[in-house]
Amino acid sequence: MNNALGTVITAIMTDENDDYYFVQQDKDGVTYSLAKEECDQPLHVGGQIRGFVYENENHTLQMTLKIPSVLVDHYDYGTVVSVRRDLGVFVDIGLPNKDIVVSLDDLSTVKPLWPQKGDRLLMALKVDAKNRLWGQLADEDIYTAISNRADEKLMNADMFATVYRLKIVGTLVLTDDFYLGFIHPDEREQEPRLGEHVKVRVIGVRPDGTLNLSMKPRAYEAISDDAAMILAMLQHSDTNQLPYTDKSAPDDIREVFGISKGQFKRAIGHLLKARLVEQKDGQLILKQ
């Protein structure tokens, strides 16, 4: 096995043609091609150069000076560029002519939850016995090592997070500010994909510094336009009350609110379900 693949090495130039320099690492004698267009200055036989080595899509050993941040034993995000259901997902880590495959063996058996184009995966590289480079997803220890400890000041904050683990009990994410978070199935409309970048809000801070998160909108964000209008009128009332309920006359409702009795009842239903208002003694009351 070529232990240099997927790493940064220092090599010596041994030969060249019109388009490439050919370089070798002293200790193994393996030859890598280096595109001349990557070099700012000419190389001469015996000159040293430092770069990342890999096998390109044409199965040629190559060196590049465009060193990716994803390496063997070095984790960073790569971007999914394509999916093959019989193989896995292809991830761009910045190489000029090579995408890295994360094997289907490392992905969910539920294929609709596989990453899609544009999703992000935190990964390193690994080399198999046939000198093939694969993506290695970060495990729990890696996420714990890079995470920050959350405090109560984050309660109710909006943030974005990347899904890194799918479990029956819920979804594990890492926020853009490197906080670990958990999304219970009740706090999402549908299960997000591995690698999906999602908007969340903080609904709890655990003693261990991890976050309980929700993908659902706040109650007032989920209500209809009619309900939002009624809510605004309640908020601007001196008493936070209005003398109208779902029992009020249609003509009175249309005159005051400009909507039909049916629209009004649906809007009130939204507000009641969101626990933002209550109806009592002929009054619609804003709950504090």
What is the pLDDT confidence band of residue 205, given thresholds at 50, 70 and 90?
Answer: very high
What is the pLDDT confidence band of residue 226, given thresholds at 50, 70 and 90?
Answer: confident
| pLDDT tens-digit readout, 34-55 | 999 999 999 999 999 999 999 9
On the question of a common fold for 8-64 and 147-214, the answer reads yes
Task: Supply the pLDDT for residue 53.
Answer: 96
8-64: which CATH topology? OB fold (Dihydrolipoamide Acetyltransferase, E2P) (2.40.50)
What is the pLDDT confidence band of residue 227, given thresholds at 50, 70 and 90?
Answer: confident
The CATH class that applies to domain 76-138 reads: mainly beta
Contact of 2 with 127, CB cutoff 8 Å:
yes
The CATH class that applies to domain 147-214 reads: mainly beta
CA distance 81 to 100: 10
- Where exactly are the structural domains of the chain? 8-64, 76-138, 147-214, 220-286
Best CA proximity match to 231, nearest among 220, 243, 245, 222 = 220
| pLDDT tens-digit readout, 150-192 | 999 999 999 999 999 999 999 999 999 999 999 999 999 899 9
| pLDDT tens-digit readout, 110-124 | 999 999 999 999 999
Provide the residue type at 172 as one letter: L
26-37 average pLDDT score:
87
CA distance 166 to 168: 7
Q: Give the DSSP letter of residue 253.
A: H
CATH 1.10.10.10 describes domain 220-286 = yes
Q: Is the pLDDT of residue 28 over 80?
A: no
* Averaged pLDDT of the chain: 92
Across the beta sheet with 241-242, the strand order is: 241-242, 283-286, 277-280
